[in-house]
Structure 1
């Protein structure tokens, strides 16, 4: 699946995906025409027709056409989101894009309006911390106004996503080989020094990830623990300069591969979010070579990669430690975050 950031003028308004929007909103076609120079994320299915459409807008003024009104603040407005569900979890991938925009733009809130009849969509957004804060009534009917605070660290791991809470949690460094790293964390590829949300069109850009490994110590992680992902050298130069910290993730669950009752149970758990293909998963199940199964959320790519050399020379890391998987201090983690130019307001201490 590939998301494309496309200009409205190049999108076919006659595509069937827009039929329900034309029915729900009498002014939709006129609105679409006015947006000719703007861009939206689109996903084209195998037949060439649209299976997904997402339009986002940055606003700073008060939202006065809802009841109660929302005070002035920097927000990402989900102007239009439409999906043809095919079991692809496109909704979650669109949510990742929405959160990426909010992080990059330093927005304090995200909001959208939606008719209550779209229950599955409402449930999806509420799962990630959106709340019913107001209503909007027009000639088209009454809509819910769902609002997500980018400052609220309360609730579950998903409800506060993408914020990372380090208070009371352990923090670990986890190494990934380059071939797995790019497949698993597309925002964090080494040659993208600015993790551009516009240029990234990878089909693997999702919130949840599943990874298998054999490194010692992984069995001690707990839900909520923080992972600093470290990409090992690609062989193009010394690891001192080519191995880099790239991403911040949060553990959702740890499982031993032997806890699954069958291959089918294992495949059902791993396949939707795994970096590994079906053949690789079958081999892992047969050999039990990688017993540790990690499920985690992909929260941030560091805008600037932090080299192994910098981590050793100025951030208190020991070159003699085992860098495959190791616990790190809060001070070390915060030093990497600062050097990586991540907005420190996203880390809840």
Structure 2
């Protein structure tokens, strides 16, 4: 992205002054976007003609850090352009017209100027949307920056920058073997300010790491993957095993993509022929081998995942398969049932650690440990309800009782086990995905129904019991699993603000 800067945004003709706060913020933003900032040669020539020597030297020093626009187009040879903007009144007008012509002829993509007359001319010739005031540019280009608003993560997982990591940490040893240029790559990305998520063990070493990058370019693989905005998982590695941290890192990656309007994620990997834990994990959530990167002596596989089922032929897939392959997209057509499930706040906090509204963290989380069930995408819910209608692919809406008294979250049923009594069977089914301890399961006096599900979204706007009653979705707060019809579900979905782009009907 190449942006032309008018010298009037730097220069006050009457006095020396520092850059305005807005301009300083704008330059920081453009630097983060790696925009190429250029000055028109005629602007420099105009400054050099200033008879006030001190002012001239100060003004020239302010722009010396910027490149000059090479071989700029000449407006005097374009009769149509000159007629559209009218004759120049003086030499200053000549310079302004030349700057505007650089935009008109696409020598630059955008132009930033505080000169209101130039803005009027820009609209006259049809390039007004590409000519910005400083305040307009700050607003628009800030929207191009990667979003930093992602769902909360457990305290044991910390957002950091690569320059704060020790490249000699043992977690990088296997990467150094697989990638001979790893050390050079690490230094380069650290200098770029690359961000990451890390889990540090009590001895300070890394237990897990996620390094990511937002790209908008083709992937030079075989076959070549076309230019597209994607999230690249550059590194995802877990040494502190047994806590579902890999699933948590995958969830964080998906959340970053969603917050930045990205619908495709990819990673490259030297796939192990047997027992490749990374590929086993990501395959559960729709990553598929799409191409290869050819290196000198070996090839690296490219795995791509689409977050949006729309635009893909899913007619042959079952609802539960859509949830698995295109997660977090899900099928919510009329052919599947919808249920509201009440859950107490204490269990809600444990099961949904990324819930964005005031969860109380636990002491162990601040000592570098995790609540395993909160890390997972695939979770388990146990109930004494005798409901028998739930099937894989059905929609479940979680109603947080007692404090919020509202529907907060939505998931898709993976599997359903009715009336299970043997604690060993229950533990085997739920693994580490439930908030219920073995002791609590063994103390249960009744058979338990087990719902295995994938958590897809928290509702952007929780739907309260008062709203549910006013809309006749519920008559009172649910005490057990309650089925709602499709019309009622669509109302909840609309009120809750679920993004239609990630649903399939």
Uncovered stretches (5+) of structure 2, i.e. residues with no partner: 1-153, 360-368
Q: Residue by residue, what CA displacement relative to the aligned partner does 1:219-272 show, whole Å, maximum 9, x if unpaired?
A: 3211110001111132xxxxxxx31111110111111343x6x43332232241
Uncovered stretches (5+) of structure 1, i.e. residues with no partner: 193-200, 235-241
Q: Name 1:68's counterpart in structure 2.
A: 223
Q: Which has the larger radius of gyration?
A: 2
Task: Write out aligned runs for 1:1-349 (5 A).
Answer: 2-36=156-190, 37-63=193-219, 65-84=220-239, 86-117=241-272, 119-139=276-296, 141-152=298-309, 154=314, 155=317, 156=321, 157-167=323-333, 168-191=335-358, 203=371, 204-217=374-387, 219-234=388-403, 242-258=404-420, 262-284=422-444, 287-288=445-446, 291-313=448-470, 315-320=471-476, 322=478, 324-349=480-505
Q: Cα gap change, 1:328/1:74 in structure 2, threshold over 3 Å: closer, same or farther? A: farther
Aligned equivalents of 2:430, 2:442: Cα separation in 1: 11
Q: Cα gap change, 1:324/1:188 in structure 2, threshold over 3 Å: closer, same or farther? A: farther
What displacement does 1:84 show?
Answer: 2.0
What displacement does 1:31 show?
Answer: 2.2
Pairs aligned (count):
326
More strand by share: 1
What displacement does 1:322 show?
Answer: 4.1
Q: Kindly indicate whether structure 1 or structure 2 has the higher relative contact order, using CA contacts under 8 Å at least 6 residues apart.
A: 1
Q: Is the 8 A contact 2:200 2:207 kept in 1?
A: yes
Aligned equivalents of 1:130, 1:343: Cα separation in 2: 22
Q: Is the 8 A contact 2:247 2:375 kept in 1?
A: no
Q: Name 2:128's counterpart in structure 1.
A: none
What displacement does 1:26 show?
Answer: 2.1
What displacement does 1:189 show?
Answer: 4.9
Q: Cα gap change, 1:57/1:342 in structure 2, threshold over 3 Å: closer, same or farther? A: farther
Instruction: Describe the SS at the equivalent of 1:339.
Output: helix
Q: What TM-score results when the alignment is normalised by the length of structure 2? A: 0.60
Moved more, 203-212 or 11-20: 203-212
Q: Cα gap change, 1:257/1:88 in structure 2, threshold over 3 Å: closer, same or farther? A: farther
Q: Cα gap change, 1:330/1:60 in structure 2, threshold over 3 Å: closer, same or farther? A: farther
Aligned equivalents of 2:490, 2:184: Cα separation in 1: 49
Q: Is the 8 A contact 1:73 1:108 kept in 2?
A: no
Instruction: Describe the SS at the equivalent of 1:71.
Output: strand
Measured on the aligned residues, the alpha-carbon RMSD in Å equals 2.4
Q: What TM-score results when the alignment is normalised by the length of structure 1? A: 0.85
What displacement does 1:43 show?
Answer: 1.8
Q: Cα gap change, 1:331/1:344 in structure 2, threshold over 3 Å: closer, same or farther? A: same
